[in-house]
């Protein structure tokens, strides 16, 4: 069956340009009613205008779709709540939230002002938090929801000059990890997109032949899959140039060094065994790690645990 979004209501933050615009257009094309949220500022997060979001709305309506523009500043919870309230008044539900809005204020850590660090974290991490919190109870009540965070290779793997951006982009993955667990019984799936595309954030950084391969329209289909009815949960999807990958956080099998009189030299002497990737696994939750370590230690020490292991 072909994936469609008929009758579903979607909020896309940062929906006026680049990836956000493509998310909006493609969702509308497949039947969704779209709230195009955009503050209308520049890449650094200054300035404001309602024209970019309205332009996307006009494009959707001209193609026969349904959409409304919204200029809420996602770092302002009152404005976010008003956006969600207006969405509910217009269409009565919120099925999908795509946390896409973001800004850049790149500098090496030594030269970065704390206000630039704070601003970027506020937009990317707290902006995603505010919007997610505003729709969470609605999705719980309707026992359906699809939430997409937007991360980046900068947060997952690191990139020079982007400590603020990287910290924020790693933060949304942590938020996804917890909310995917808490939302499961309410049929709320929470995923993360880690995209790379030729958008205004990369202006001047890509050669023309490279940029031609990296259109945002080649990323959006991955985002749409992650917010579809058949979406997985707790998944990080890498996307760019029509290519997709799944990014996972693994932990090595672990090695029991010793119990009593454990010292730093013992860790150093056993480092090769500790870091051996053979048998590494993906943890379902934080306590899975605790269970693994306790079980491993008890087995080595000959301790019988109450759970029988």
Q: Which residue bears the tokens 């056993």? A: 270
Angle at 19 between CA 242 and CA 139, to 5 degrees: 105
According to DSSP, residue 304 is labeled: P
Is there a contact between 109 and 167 (Cβ–Cβ < 8 Å)? no
pLDDT of residue 300: 87
Find the catalytic residue in 39, 144, 165, 225.
165
Helix (H) or strand (E) holding 244: strand 243-247
pLDDT of residue 243: 87
Distance separating the N- and C-terminal Cα atoms of the chain = 46
Question: For the range 86-89, what are the long-range contacts, defined as Cβ-Cβ under 8 Å and sequence gap of 24 or more?
Answer: 87/9, 87/11, 87/35, 88/138
Report pTM: 0.93
User: Yes or no: is domain 250-301 CATH 3.40.50?
Assistant: no
What order of strands is seen across the sheet that includes strand 96-98?
A: 66-70, 33-37, 9-13, 96-98, 145-150, 188-195, 236-240, 243-247
Helices (H), the chain: 18-29, 51-62, 77-91, 114-121, 127-141, 153-156, 163-182, 208-211, 220-226, 264-269, 271-274, 286-301
Tokens of 282: 């993906």
Tokens of 154: 């900068």
pLDDT of residue 197: 82
Tokens of 303: 């301790």
Is there a contact between 26 and 224 (Cβ–Cβ < 8 Å)? yes
Angle between helices 77-91 and 127-141 (to 10 degrees): 40
What is the DSSP track for 135-182?
HHHHHHHTT-EEEEEE--HHHHT--TTBHHHHHHHHHHHHHHHHHHHH
Instruction: List the domain boundaries for the chain.
Output: 9-247, 250-301
Is there a contact between 20 and 100 (Cβ–Cβ < 8 Å)? yes
Q: By three-state DSSP, how is residue 218 classified?
A: helix
CATH architecture of 9-247: 3-Layer(aba) Sandwich (3.40)
pLDDT of residue 202: 57
pLDDT of residue 287: 87
pLDDT of residue 241: 86
How far is residue 101's CA from residue 14's CA, in Å, rounded to a whole number? Answer: 4
Rg (CA), the chain: 22
Is residue 186 among the annotated active site residues? no
How far is residue 117's CA from residue 94's CA, in Å, rounded to a whole number? Answer: 31
Helix (H) or strand (E) holding 35: strand 33-37
Q: By three-state DSSP, how is residue 13 classified?
A: strand
Cβ contacts of 199 within 8 Å, gap of 6 or more: 17, 18, 19, 216
The pLDDT averaged over each successive group of 10 residues in the chain (309 residues) is: 95 96 98 96 76 97 98 98 98 98 96 98 98 98 98 94 97 98 98 82 59 81 98 96 93 95 97 97 90 89 78
pLDDT of residue 26: 98
Q: Which residues pair with 281 in a beta bridge?
A: 251
């Amino acid at each position: 069956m072909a994936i469609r979004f008929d009758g579903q209501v979607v909020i896309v933050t940062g929906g006026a340009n680049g990836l956000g615009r493509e998310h909006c257009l493609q969702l509308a094309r497949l039947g969704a009613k779209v709230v195009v949220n955009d503050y209308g500022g520049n890449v650094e997060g200054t300035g404001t205008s309602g024209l970019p979001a309205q332009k996307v709305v006009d494009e959707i309506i001209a193609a026969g779709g349904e959409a409304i523009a919204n200029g809420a500043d996602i770092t302002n919870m009152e404005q976010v709540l008003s956006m969600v309230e207006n969405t509910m008044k217009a269409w009565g539900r919120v099925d999908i939230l795509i946390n896409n809005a973001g800004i850049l204020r790149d500098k090496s850590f030594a030269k970065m002002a704390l206000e630039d660090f704070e601003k970027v974290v506020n937009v990317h991490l707290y902006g995603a938090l505010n919007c997610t919190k505003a729709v969470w109870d609605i999705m719980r009540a309707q026992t359906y929801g699809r939430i997409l965070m937007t991360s980046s290779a900068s947060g997952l793997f690191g990139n020079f000059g982007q400590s603020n951006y990287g910290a924020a982009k790693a933060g949304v993955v942590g938020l996804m990890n917890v909310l995917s667990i808490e939302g499961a019984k309410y049929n709320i799936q929470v995923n993360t997109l880690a995209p790379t595309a030729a958008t205004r954030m990369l202006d001047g950084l890509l050669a023309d032949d490279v940029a031609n391969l990296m259109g945002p329209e080649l990323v959006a289909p991955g985002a749409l899959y992650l917010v579809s009815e058949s979406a997985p949960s707790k998944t990080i999807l890498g996307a760019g140039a029509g290519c997709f990958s799944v990014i996972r956080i693994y932990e090595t099998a672990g090695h029991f060094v010793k119990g009593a009189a454990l010292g730093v030299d013992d860790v150093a002497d056993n480092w090769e065994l500790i870091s051996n990737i053979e048998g590494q696994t993906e943890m379902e939750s934080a306590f899975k790690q605790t269970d693994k370590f306790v079980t491993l230690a008890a087995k080595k020490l000959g301790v019988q645990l109450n759970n029988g292991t």
